[in-house]
Structure 1
Amino acid sequence: MQMDADMKVGMDTDREEIKTAPVIISFVVAGFIGLFSETALNMALNNLIISFGIHETTAQWLTTGYLLTLGILVPVSGLILQWFTTRHLFITALIFSIIGTFIAAIAPSFSVLMVARVVQAVGTGLLLPLMFNTILMIVPPQNRGKMMGIIGLVIMFAPAVGPTLSGLILKNLSWHWIFWISLPVLVFALVFGIYFMQDVTKPTKPKIDLVSILLSTLGFGGVVFGFSSAGEGGGWGSPTVIITLAVGLISLILFALRQLKMKQPVLNLRAFQYPMFTLGLVMVVLCMMIILSSMILLPLYLQTSLALSTFAAGLLLLPGGIINGLLSPVMGSLFDRFGPKWLVIPGIIVVTAAMFGFSTITVDTSSAFIIGLHIITMVGVSMVMMPAQTNGLNQLPRELYPDGTAIMNTLQQVAGAIGTAVAISILSSGVESYMNSVDDLTNPMNQLLAFTAGVQKAFVFAIIIAAVGLVFSFFIKRVNVDQPEA
């Protein structure tokens, strides 16, 4: 039996009492800086390797640790949202982000910077589910597309400009300034939120099941860590990868079985009973795999095959990111008017075509061709991501909003780890296969051609993922937002 909505989350706050604009602005500013610093630091890895005298695999822990923290925290965010008010969670998330950013800015060693990244991830892990849940609560279903589009602008624009701005910062200043520049903006977001953030839910403090939290931690943490380790060069045959993936998958199965039997689950998997939510989740997961695999393949290709600098590579990828961000509100408005089908199907076709184009790139491919394909990819993604996500969340009853947003955000992190790991594995396999077919292994040109061949094969993987998405897209239907939410 499904519990009464009032007992579940107490979401009876009148939308008319909420001043929507200041609440959204608070989330937009905070979310932008959180996601900006995530990708901005990736461009500084070489500087950090030199500064701290560490190995590449050690430096990658700055990304892996961040993803791992999100993978552990986000699944239980649905429970956290039912224990604390919107204001308290927002302020707590910002405090974690500010503390983490300050520690990173003054970090004298890698270990201190690693701690800072984990603290930052706690802030982001609290903020993202809270942001989506709040929008679902304060924005009527028929207007959510446009609002989700505005949030999509932040989610896509911040990671897009992160590498370019950090490249500019690193050209003139030390990597510490990536965090010093972010810090005052986070403080502004906190002060703004203290004045304007309103409570949109009433905490009901459901029972906490420690066994479920342990299984969730082992499950999602193990899967994210396993795939991240494989993608960082550990290889699929590594004992660490095999053990962590096995522990993760077994724990996830036990976690799912336990949630389905509980009257008050930590993460209510009954959200999967709603077909458009499940279908929207599939589309979002597939898109995230394509986006994040492309985000790691393209910079490597631009810097290795085309011999561009970090800053130049960032500039080439900037137009696509900006266009994607600007199109997100437009696609949101079109979704409100026409529904998801006439956006998602053409969008995934566009993405598939772009991935096919990327699979043909060579060492002689022009920068203009790469920019064009990246722009096409980002246009297609903007047509798929937010419409599919919003349509899926619209089908959920109010009491499942926290669980739906937690599931969406969690599986996006898992999809990112999987997409990145598989892409890097195929890239490495492609390089090895090409080098085994040539006579002169010391010829630099052969090494360059081998790397490019690996990139081509990795984009074939992206084509397959996009093709799967195309098949699913034909089943998407608009959710009737006028029907009473049961």
Structure 2
Amino acid sequence: MTSSTGGHLHEGPPDTKLDKNVLLVAGVVVLGAIMSILDVTVVGVAQNTFQQEFSTDAAGAAWTATGYTLALAAVIPLASWAASRFGTKKVYLFSLVLFTLGSALCALATSIGMLVAFRVIQGLGGGLLMPIGMMMLTKAAGPERVGSVMAVLGIPMLLGPISGPILGGVLIENLSWHWIFLINVPVGVVAFVYAAIVLRDDAEPSPASIDWIGLLLLSPGLALFLYGISTSAEHRTFMAKGVLIPAIIGLLLIIGFVAHALRAKKPLLDLRLFKNKTLSIAVTTMVLFMVAFFGAALLFPQYFIGVRGESTLTAGLLLAPQGLGAMLTMPIAGRLTDKMGPGKFVLGGIVLILIGMSTFTMLGANTSYWLICGSLFVQGLGMGMTMMPIMSAALATLSNTQVPDGSTLMNVIQQSATSVGTAVISVVLASSLAAKPEAGLAIFANTSDKPLPPGVPDPLPESFFDTAADVFSNTFLISVVLIACTLIPAFFLPRKKIASPLVEEDLERGPIVMH
């Protein structure tokens, strides 16, 4: 790649091909990511089941998802420090054990309180899998191949939301809810053994002390902020005290952390990385994209189930074209991003997403599934060209010593943006349905076994389902506008190969090799 002769650096042609060692590490990371990401969507499918099994209401069952998310938010900021202090291999193996143990305990839960507590244990393990995995992959591949490895890591990030509802539907309908957790146990054991063999200990873990002030500000700040945001759907507004109080307290703690981090010599998370222009542009693009896209992702299964009356399994299968489209473009975009820069691919991808998602702003109660699946396929093509190149644009500009902080930063922002997007779309949808009772009745008829309220015609008039479809199409319009806004920062992403960052500290330490 590079060599030093007579005090000068000579750069040879870039090698973007992933070798055996990098692919082995990628296999470890993908296994961990699949478990962590699948678990979010699989549990989403099981909410009604939890209500029946544990005699709880929707708010109680929702804590099985909220508890996991809050644990993720609390532990992700520790990733950079933990990797430096103990080494990425040890932290990753510990995370796998914690996640697998949490999964087994969840399957044994006999009350909703126990299940929520065990989901928190799962989240504490799952929260470290992605940032530590990104660190290992980025360091193993080097900056000149970061696009290719991000494409590999993007597979579980795409397949999770699509295959989760399918897997959850199959397991719950044919076995029991316990199996949505038990299935993680053998996968976790395999992942642990594989990781223990393949990964190599970091050369010199640092004895650095933890930034306690930063930890006490950022972790509870993120947890409180995301808790407030996540409860907005239940209240159908962002103005409720239950939303505003924790969200504002969390936001103040986060602001306090920012002020602290910019002054501290060794902060929990180095925000000075934002001085890197490419990273700042990439992060801005990613935030807008995550808010818009993952907010919209919440609507697809709800439309199929609530308006069209499909089963959870069928809804998951109808989303498959999106995953197929992404799988076609993601490896190509990842490889070419390393050679040509991310700008062109991200802009082209966003345009394709806009084209695909625009169809959903005109949904009816009987819109052709051929049109819907075709639009999802086009949208998937765009997503494969967008999400991972954005992350590559940020990580490719970092030196080896900056990768832990950069990876942690990206995961914190990604988790926050996804939660905000889901909350915004949920509130808009819930408020719109509340304003149109006939739409709510249509969804109730398709999703509940209970009889319709007295005085309501049975079967419901077709116009009720048309109104419900209109509510969804109007909500999709908000996502389309947000996706269009993503074009602005994306325009400033590099449109040529990003130069590999070679700093003296990296040259002295040499590359980090894993096998």
> TM-score over 0.5 for the alignment?
yes
1:469 aligns with 486
Residues in 2 aligned to 1:193 and 1:95: alpha-carbon distance in whole angstroms: 11
Q: 1:263 to 1:105 in 2, by over 3 A?
A: same
2:72 to 57, 70, 73: 70
Matches within 5 A, 1:229-268: 229-233=231-235, 235-268=237-270
Q: Which has the higher helix share?
A: 1
- Residue 435 of structure 1 and its aligned partner are, at CA, apart by 5.0
Deviation sequence 1:27-75 (CA, Å, 0-9, x none): 2222212222221121111111111111011111111111111111112
2:278 aligns with 276
Identity, % of aligned pairs?
A: 28
Indicate whether 1:454 and 2:456 are aligned.
no
1:147 to 149, 162, 181: 149
2:170 aligns with 168
The AA in structure 1 aligned to 2:196 is I
Indicate whether 1:481 and 2:492 are aligned.
no
1:320 to 319, 322, 325: 322
Matches within 5 A, 1:11-50: 19-50=21-52
Residues in 1 aligned to 2:322 and 2:203: alpha-carbon distance in whole angstroms: 37
Deviation sequence 1:137-188 (CA, Å, 0-9, x none): 1112222211110111122113321111221122211111122222111101
The AA in structure 2 aligned to 1:413 is Q
Conserved? CA contact 1:157–1:322, under 8 Å: no
Residues in 2 aligned to 1:328 and 1:75: alpha-carbon distance in whole angstroms: 28
The AA in structure 2 aligned to 1:392 is A
- Residue 234 of structure 1 and its aligned partner are, at CA, apart by 5.3
SS at match of 1:399: coil
How many residues end up aligned between the 2 structures?
Answer: 469
2:138 to 136, 139, 160: 136
- Residue 17 of structure 1 and its aligned partner are, at CA, apart by 13
- Residue 300 of structure 1 and its aligned partner are, at CA, apart by 1.0
SS at match of 1:484: coil
The AA in structure 2 aligned to 1:480 is I
- Residue 260 of structure 1 and its aligned partner are, at CA, apart by 0.3
Residues in 1 aligned to 2:300 and 2:87: alpha-carbon distance in whole angstroms: 41
Q: Larger Rg: 1 or 2?
A: 2
Residues in 1 aligned to 2:373 and 2:292: alpha-carbon distance in whole angstroms: 17
Residues in 1 aligned to 2:363 and 2:430: alpha-carbon distance in whole angstroms: 17
1:11 aligns with none
Conserved? CA contact 1:145–1:387, under 8 Å: yes
- Residue 483 of structure 1 and its aligned partner are, at CA, apart by 5.0
- Residue 128 of structure 1 and its aligned partner are, at CA, apart by 0.7
Residues in 1 aligned to 2:20 and 2:325: alpha-carbon distance in whole angstroms: 31
Residues in 2 aligned to 1:190 and 1:452: alpha-carbon distance in whole angstroms: 46
Q: 1:17 to 1:422 in 2, by over 3 A?
A: closer
- Residue 222 of structure 1 and its aligned partner are, at CA, apart by 1.7
Conserved? CA contact 1:147–1:329, under 8 Å: no
Conserved? CA contact 1:97–1:119, under 8 Å: yes
- Structure-1-length-normalised TM-score: 0.91
Conserved? CA contact 2:339–2:497, under 8 Å: no
The AA in structure 2 aligned to 1:475 is F
Residues in 2 aligned to 1:17 and 1:287: alpha-carbon distance in whole angstroms: 31
- Structure-2-length-normalised TM-score: 0.86
1:7 aligns with none
2:14 aligns with none
Matches within 5 A, 1:372-383: 372-383=374-385
SS at match of 1:398: coil
Residues in 2 aligned to 1:290 and 1:27: alpha-carbon distance in whole angstroms: 26
Residues in 2 aligned to 1:82 and 1:17: alpha-carbon distance in whole angstroms: 26
Q: 1:447 to 1:53 in 2, by over 3 A?
A: farther
Residues in 1 aligned to 2:171 and 2:437: alpha-carbon distance in whole angstroms: 37
- Residue 208 of structure 1 and its aligned partner are, at CA, apart by 2.0
Per mean C-alpha deviation after superposition, the further-off stretch among 109-118 and 192-201 is 192-201
Q: 1:485 to 1:460 in 2, by over 3 A?
A: farther
Matches within 5 A, 1:405-424: 405-424=407-426
- Residue 331 of structure 1 and its aligned partner are, at CA, apart by 1.7
SS at match of 1:108: coil
